[in-house]
Structure 1
Amino acid sequence: MRLHFRFDHRRDGFHLQAAGEVPTAGITALFGPSGCGKSTLLRLIAGLERCNNGEVRMEQDIWQNEQTFLPPHHRPIGYVIQEGQLFPHLNVRDNLRYGWKRAGRSTEAAAGPDFDTVIALLGLTELLARRPEQLSGGQRQRVAIGRALLTRPRVLLLDEPLAALDREAKHAILPYLERLHRELALPVLYVSHDTDEVARIADRLLLMEAGRIQAAGELTGMLTHPDLPLARSEQAETVLEATISSHDTDYHLTRLRFAGGELSLATPAELATGEPVRIRILARDVSLALSPATDSSILNILPARVSEIRPLNPAQALVCLDLGGTPLLAHITHRSVDALGLAPGSPVYAQIKSVALLV
C-alpha cells in the first residue's frame, strides 16, 4: 500500500507546498539542503505538526483531510529522529518491549518482524541488558529503530537518523539499514542531506528545495538527470546495481557485472560470486576517448554513446553517456569537448579511473 501526502503549510514565514507518495516497499530518500522543509514534511506526515490544508492517506485509509485528523499515536507509523530518545530508566530489552506492547494494542498494526527477528536484524543481542547511558550513539539509534519496527508500522519514518553520529559510527550502522532494506518489505521515508547515505541505501529520491518537491524518481535516474542539480554538482555521481561475477586471485581484483557491461576493482575476496552490490562512479573520475587505449593503467574502459552535453561553468561541461541503456556522467573541459568533436550521438570510450563499492 502506498502512502500519499499533500500539504500547503505556512509557518513562521516558511511556505511548504509539497505532494508525493512513498511506494509499498524500499527506501525513499527525502533529500535536499538544510532548511528546505524535509523534517517539517515528515512531522506533518506523522501528525506531530498540524496543517489545515493537507491530506495523508495509506491508499483508502485516511489519516488526514479536511474532515479527519488522526493524532500521531493513532497513525500506524514508526518514527525515529536524530537522537533516538530511549527511555533512560529502561534497559534495551524493555525499551524494545515498549514498542512490542504498543503493536499489541494497535488495531492498525501491520504484519511485521517478531521480537527475536528484530534483535537479530539489528545485532542487539549483546546489548539487551544495558541501559541507554551505556550505549554508543550508533547503538542507541539501532535500538530506537528496533523499537519503531516492533510497533509493527505500515511505514517507517527516519528523520536524519545518522546526523548526530561521527563518520565511524555511521559506517557501523549503515550495514544494519541495508539488512533491513533487503529483508523487510516495509516502505521507508528517509530524510537526509548526505549523498553518501542516500547513494548507499535509497531506491528512490524525492528531491526537495525551498519547501517544494522538485522531482521524484528512481535513484540512478535522479542522480544523472541533467536538469537536476545533483548531476551538475562537483560531487556528481552515477550509482549502479551490479553483481559479483568473478575474482582474480592473482591480482586481487573482483569483476562486477552490470546492465552496461563489466568493471574491475579491488574488493574484499569474501564477497561471494552472484552477490548483489552497489557501485559509485564520480563524474570527475570519467574521461573520454575516441578509441580504446591499449597502453593505459586504467582498467575500466567501456564503449558508450554521448546522449547530451550541457555547460557546467565557463571551463567545464557535463557529458551524459549511455552505456547500453545504463546512464553515466562525465565532467570534462569544453576544450576536450571541442578537441574530440563530441556531440549527441557520438560514439566514445568511457575511461573510468575509479570505482567505489558502496559497503
Structure 2
Amino acid sequence: MIEVDFQLALGAFSLNVAFRNDGGVTALFGQSGSGKSLTLSVIAGLRRPDAGYVRLDGEALVDTEAGVFVPVSRRRIGLVFQDSNLFPHLSVKQNLLYGRWFAPRDAPKIDFDAVVETLGVGALLSRPPARLSGGERQRVAIGRALLSCPRLLLFDEPLAALDMPRKLEIMPLIERVRDEFQVPIVYVSHAVEEVVRLAHCVVVIESGHVKFIGDPATAFSRLATASATDRFDLCSVLEARFADRSASHGLAALDHPAGTIWVAGAVGAPGAPARVIVKATDVVLSLTRPAEISMRSVLTGRVAKIKLDGPLATVEVELAANSHLLATVTRGALEDLSLAVGSRVHALFKSAALDEQAVSVGDTL
C-alpha cells in the first residue's frame, strides 16, 4: 500500500496531494501542468516535499515531521518515463539485467524468462536500443523496471510519445504486468482511454490540488459534467459485464442494468467486467424505443441534468445502478422533444462508434 499526503511549493505553483493505493493501478489524471508528474517525482524521491509524508507498506519513504528521507536508490521503486532511457551501448538483454543491480539480495526475484515472455521481447534480446521501435523500447523499459523487483511501479505518461498502433500494442502488456506480477502501479496520464482501460482508481488533479478520487466511471462522469470541456472530448464511462450468450455477427453483448451494449472485437468470459467509453457526440436520444434502426446499443434512463451551451446542450442521463451517460444535442432537438429534468429517454449509439481497443476487460476491474 502507498499512502501520500504532502505539500510542495515551486514559485507561484502550490502542490497539495493526498491519496492511497491499496493495490492495482492508481491513475493520476489531469491536464498538462496540473502537478501529476511532480507528484510522481516526490514519490520516487527525486524531489523533497515541504511538508508531509510518503509511506510504502507502512514504511516512511519521506516524513518531514520525523526527519525521514529515504534516497532513490533504496526505495525499490521502478520508474518508466515517456522516453525509455535505455543504455545505448548495452543490448536489450543487458538493459533488462541492469535492473537486477537494484534488487536487494533477499528480495523475492521476478523471473527473467517470465518478464521476457510477458512483454514479448525474446526475439529482441541481442539487439541494441537503436534498432528498436518506440513501442519495443518501452517494452524493454517496463521489463527493466520489473526486474529490479520493485515494491511499486511509477509510469509517467509512458505512451505519450507513441503513435496509436504502438499505444494499442503496449496497453495490453501493462495490463498483463498489472494482473500477473501484482506490483502496485501509480500511472500518470491525461489520456482518458488509457486511464479507463488500466486503472482501478483515479485521482483527478487540477492546478495542484486533488479534485476527486474514485473509480473511472464516476470520476469521468463528474469531471465531464463539472468542467468546461470541448464537446468532442465529452465522454462517459460505462461499466457492464459480458453476456452469457453467443456473439451476434462478431459483436459481443455487454449487459448493463439499463440495457445492452454491443461491441465489435472485444472478447471476455461470460460475467467478466468491462468498461466502455462512449462519446457524448455519438449518443442519440429518443422518447420512444425506435424500431428498424441500425443502432444496436440502447440504454434507458431519465434526464438528470441539462447544460446549455449556445446552440448546443449537454444532457446527462441517469441510468440504473447509479451510472450516467452524457449526450450532446442541439437546442432545437431539446425543444422538439420537450426534454426536461425527469424525462424518460432511450439513449442510442452505434457499435461502430465504440473503440473496441479501449474496452477494458478483466476480473480485477
Classify 1:209/1:127 alpha carbon distance in 2 versus 1 (closer, same or farther; 3 Å): same
TM-score w.r.t. length of structure 2: 0.87
Output the amino acid matched with 1:158.
Answer: F
Classify 1:29/1:140 alpha carbon distance in 2 versus 1 (closer, same or farther; 3 Å): same
Aligned counterpart for 1:320 among listed residues 289, 295, 316:
316
Check conservation: 2:9, 2:50, Cα contact below 8 A. no
Q: CA deviation at 1:158?
A: 0.6
The answer for unaligned runs of 5 or more in structure 2 is: 360-365
Aligned partner of 1:69 in structure 2 is 69
Aligned partner of 2:8 in structure 1 is 9
Classify 1:309/1:84 alpha carbon distance in 2 versus 1 (closer, same or farther; 3 Å): same
Aligned counterpart for 2:226 among listed residues 228, 246, 267:
228
Q: CA deviation at 1:316?
A: 2.2
Q: Structure 2: how far apart are the matches of 1:346 and 1:182?
A: 42
SS in 2 for 1:164: coil
Aligned counterpart for 2:181 among listed residues 171, 181, 184:
184
Q: Give deviations 1:275-320, integer Å, cap 9, x for gaps.
A: 5543221111112111111132222222212222233x12222222
Classify 1:64/1:266 alpha carbon distance in 2 versus 1 (closer, same or farther; 3 Å): closer
Check conservation: 1:30, 1:208, Cα contact below 8 A. yes
SS in 1 for 2:104: helix
Check conservation: 1:223, 1:231, Cα contact below 8 A. no
SS in 2 for 1:25: coil
Aligned partner of 2:161 in structure 1 is 164
- Tell me how many residue pairs correspond in the alignment: 351
Check conservation: 2:259, 2:300, Cα contact below 8 A. no
Output the amino acid matched with 2:111.
Answer: D
Q: CA deviation at 1:61?
A: 0.9
Aligned partner of 1:79 in structure 2 is 79
Check conservation: 1:224, 1:231, Cα contact below 8 A. no
Aligned partner of 2:363 in structure 1 is none
Aligned counterpart for 1:336 among listed residues 325, 333, 336:
333
Check conservation: 1:231, 1:329, Cα contact below 8 A. no
Q: Structure 2: how far apart are the matches of 1:74 and 1:40?
A: 20
Aligned partner of 2:31 in structure 1 is 33
Q: How does 1:274-285 map to 2 (within 5 A)?
A: 276-285=273-282
Q: Structure 1: how far apart are the matches of 2:326 and 2:295?
A: 17
SS in 2 for 1:86: coil
Classify 1:169/1:248 alpha carbon distance in 2 versus 1 (closer, same or farther; 3 Å): closer
Aligned partner of 1:345 in structure 2 is 342
Classify 1:140/1:256 alpha carbon distance in 2 versus 1 (closer, same or farther; 3 Å): same
Q: Give deviations 1:5-26, integer Å, cap 9, x for gaps.
A: 2232222x24232222242222
Q: How much is the aligned-residue C-alpha RMSD, in angstroms?
A: 2.4
Q: How does 1:286-297 map to 2 (within 5 A)?
A: 286-297=283-294
Q: Structure 2: how far apart are the matches of 1:257 and 1:17?
A: 41
Output the amino acid matched with 1:282.
Answer: K
Q: How does 1:31-180 map to 2 (within 5 A)?
A: 31-66=29-64, 67-105=67-105, 109=107, 111=108, 113-180=110-177
Output the amino acid matched with 2:95.
Answer: N
Q: Structure 2: how far apart are the matches of 1:259 and 1:345?
A: 19
Check conservation: 1:220, 1:238, Cα contact below 8 A. yes
Q: Structure 2: how far apart are the matches of 1:159 and 1:51?
A: 19
SS in 1 for 2:335: helix
Check conservation: 2:6, 2:17, Cα contact below 8 A. yes
Aligned partner of 1:19 in structure 2 is 17
Instruction: Report the more deviating stretch, 256-265 or 26-35.
Output: 256-265
Output the amino acid matched with 2:334.
Answer: V
Q: Structure 1: how far apart are the matches of 2:324 and 2:252?
A: 22
Q: Give deviations 1:322-352, integer Å, cap 9, x for gaps.
A: 2211321112223333332333332111122
Output the amino acid matched with 1:318.
Answer: T
Report percent identity of matched pairs.
39
